[in-house]
Structure 1
Amino acid sequence: MDESDVGVPPWPGGEDAWPDDERYDPELLAHGDRRNVADRYRYWTVEAIVADLDRRRHSFHVAIENWQHDLNIGSVVRTANAFLACEVHIVGRRRWNRRGAMVTDRYQHVRHHPDVAELIAWANQENLPVLGVDNLPGSVPLEGYPLPRSCVLLFGQESVGLSDEARAAAIDVLHIAQFGSTRSINASAAAAIAMHSWITRHAGVLEP
């Protein structure tokens, strides 16, 4: 597919027909909008899109440990944007691979914590329970779990899972039911399932 087939062309009718609305970006109106955004945000500035998302954000947060430069973080950020998470929290290394985010980090609030202790201190200050998600002995099923409306869903590194400190800090550790031969599923896939579980419980199938 050619890049010109993606998105929308310049606003029809030329500059004289441009909408009189400060949310619209003159550059996008003049040259077209090829970004990966929902149709209702076509031609809008980044700032206008973020402001509209902030008006509607859900009350769950997503946190992921980043001790080994986990390549899944970008995908987690993209999914958090899709499900309109309040914030994504990167715990550990500040730098993360943004490629998987597909530029959605421009629209998704991302906060950094140097370690789990600081994340937990922040969550306690905000009165947010922290729930770990990992396939561990003693974990409880995500399916049917009463996810709080306001909470932090905490995920560990790919392959190694939650750190010992994260496991100890979580009020519960939840696992996702599996039926095949693999020991675990991809971290970004697990995050997507957990976020959607929150959506089905608290947002339902209402129009976004």
Structure 2
Amino acid sequence: MSDETSPSEEPTHGVGPYPGGPDAWPDDPRLDPELLEHGDRRNVVDRFRYWRVEAIVDELDKSRRPFHVAIENWQHDLNIGSIVRTANAFNAAAVHIVGKRRWNRRGAMVTDRYLHVFHHESIEAFTEWLQQHALPLIAVDNVDGSVPVDAAPLPERCALLFGQEGPGCSPEAIAAAERVVEIRQAGSTRSMNAAAAAAIVMHEWVRVHVPVTSQHP
């Protein structure tokens, strides 16, 4: 069962056990008998209630969006988990952790289970992977030479790279990027929270490349 709700907490979301007991359970291999028996309190959309994690991943794979999300991890940044959670929300093709292998998963709220997560020891190793897959690298940072993210459409197939809270993208990442984009700001702060910036840029990709329909906004 999911660990998103601790035993001491009273569940306030999701659904309880499937009504009617085992005799009434649907004959569907995607469903998890344990969740059917005990209820599904995970933070998933209703269409995935009672589904096994593997079944959800298989279904998401059918509609992954062709942008990747990469995060530099040199300082064990607490924002990484939140960025991963947002990447899941937008159904990114994959998440790439560049630098230290261990990262703080707390903010991800176990959403990394539904993503393909890769590790690269260095920017050089990640750049080599990108070249093998013909993906341009788009760095997100407000440095000299960066352009507003909404000034020109982001490529449909690309890797969006986010740096650490505070220092931003490393010089190596900036040098490797095909384009460096920034979010237009008007206040006094030099930069915004890394997780918030990542959400804005991912949504900009969606705004450009995913048509608004009555079925899927």
Shorter-chain TM-score tier:
over 0.9
What is the alpha-carbon distance in structure 1 between the residues aligned to residue 31 and residue 145 of structure 2? 52
Q: What is the aligned partner in structure 1 of residue 85 from structure 2? A: 78
Q: What is the aligned partner in structure 1 of residue 103 from structure 2? A: 96
Q: What is the aligned partner in structure 2 of residue 29 from structure 1? A: 36
Aligned-residue Cα RMSD (Å) equals 0.9
Which aligned runs of 4 or more in structure 1 are off by greater than 6 angstroms? none
User: How far did 1:15 drift?
Assistant: 1.0
Aligned pairs (5 A) from 1:1-208: 3-206=10-213, 207-208=215-216
> One-letter code of the match for 1:170?
A
What is the alpha-carbon distance in structure 1 between the residues aligned to residue 193 and residue 134 of structure 2? 29
Q: Which runs of 5+ in 1 are unaligned?
A: none
Aligned residues: 207
Cα displacement string for residues 49-108 of structure 1 (whole angstroms, at most 9, x for unaligned residues): 000001110000010100011111000000000000000100000000000001101101
Q: Which runs of 5+ in 2 are unaligned?
A: 1-8
> One-letter code of the match for 1:201?
V
> One-letter code of the match for 1:96?
W
What is the alpha-carbon distance in structure 2 between the residues aligned to residue 62 and residue 193 of structure 1? 13
What is the alpha-carbon distance in structure 2 between the residues aligned to residue 95 and residue 22 of structure 1? 33
Q: TM-score, normalised by structure 2?
A: 0.93
